């Protein structure tokens, strides 16, 4: 069965950026000298290490290498109106995906094999689009060196530890807020909230064996219940404690945000205002869901 999606011509990052992301980014940029320190200190070395290590240990996707995955990338890029980055597949038992970008260099996305094995093609595209959201919003250009700065604590204890501790809470808050924006990018690319929420459900409690047995409606109800509980004073305190050291918001919270935003006028307006072109992107659905 074919699915038609509307390309969002002229889509800008600020048109779908989550307000928490905008606020957290402004706060992070106010840290004195952070950007300059990272560029001059870690940037040149980290750039070479990450690029060489990734090329050596991963498989580059293209027209002649895993072409179905490559087609999902190109389709998502067309919908989100962004130039395609490189896409790599890496053997790893932990389901994950990440983006690496340095200013002036070609960015790339990495998908772990365990993630690909866990998800359907449309869900894989949602993950790819989430990573494209980092690029669309310039998250990766800023996120990559800052993450490296935190990791530098183990390499240069005296300087690195002091800086990392000083910005850790603020950095993690920013990263979590940025994830909300990128989940929106995943929704804009798939144009189906159930696909995005299904990814979150499988990341929370799925496996190649359990995934087909999971009930999305029950997970959405769970997300809404979490929202109700979090409105209490005790619930807010538990939620804050639970998430303060995480790099991502908890999956049910992300699902609740997508559930809410997919029903908003803001989301519907984005599809209508940027989808005025008569052309459509067609997904052939050539992969079987598992």
Which residues belong to the active site?
Answer: 131
Q: Contact at 8 Å (CB) between 73 and 128?
A: yes
What is the torsional sign of CA 139, 141, 142, 144? positive
Tokens of 261: 């935003």
């Amino acid at each position: 069965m074919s699915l038609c999606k509307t390309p969002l011509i002229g889509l800008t990052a600020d048109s779908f950026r989550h307000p928490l992301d905008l606020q957290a980014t402004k706060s992070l940029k106010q840290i004195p000298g952070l950007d300059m320190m990272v560029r001059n200190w870690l940037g040149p070395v980290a750039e070479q290490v990450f690029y060489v290590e990734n090329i050596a240990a991963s498989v580059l996707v293209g027209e002649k290498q895993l072409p179905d995955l490559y087609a999902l990338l190109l389709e998502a890029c067309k919908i989100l109106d962004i130039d395609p980055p490189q896409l790599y597949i890496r053997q790893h038992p932990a389901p994950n995906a990440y983006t690496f970008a340095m200013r002036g260099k070609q960015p790339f996305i990495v998908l772990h094999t365990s993630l690909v094995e866990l998800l359907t093609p449309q869900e894989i595209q949602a993950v790819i689009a989430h990573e494209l959201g980092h690029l669309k919003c310039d998250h990766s250009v800023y996120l990559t060196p800052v993450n490296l700065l935190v990791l530098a604590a183990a390499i240069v204890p005296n300087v690195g530890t002091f800086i990392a501790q000083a910005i850790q809470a603020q950095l993690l808050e920013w990263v979590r807020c940025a994830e909300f924006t990128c989940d929106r990018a995943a929704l804009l690319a798939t144009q189906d909230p159930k696909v995005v929420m299904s990814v979150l459900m499988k990341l929370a409690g799925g496996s190649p064996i359990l995934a087909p047995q999971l009930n999305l409606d029950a997970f959405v109800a769970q997300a809404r219940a979490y929202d109700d509980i979090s409105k209490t004073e005790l619930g807010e305190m538990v939620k804050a404690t639970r998430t303060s050291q995480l790099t991502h918001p908890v999956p049910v919270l992300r699902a609740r945000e997508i559930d809410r935003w997919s029903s908003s006028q803001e989301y519907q307006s984005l599809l209508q205002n940027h989808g005025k072109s008569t052309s459509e992107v067609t997904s052939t659905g050539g992969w079987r869901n598992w």
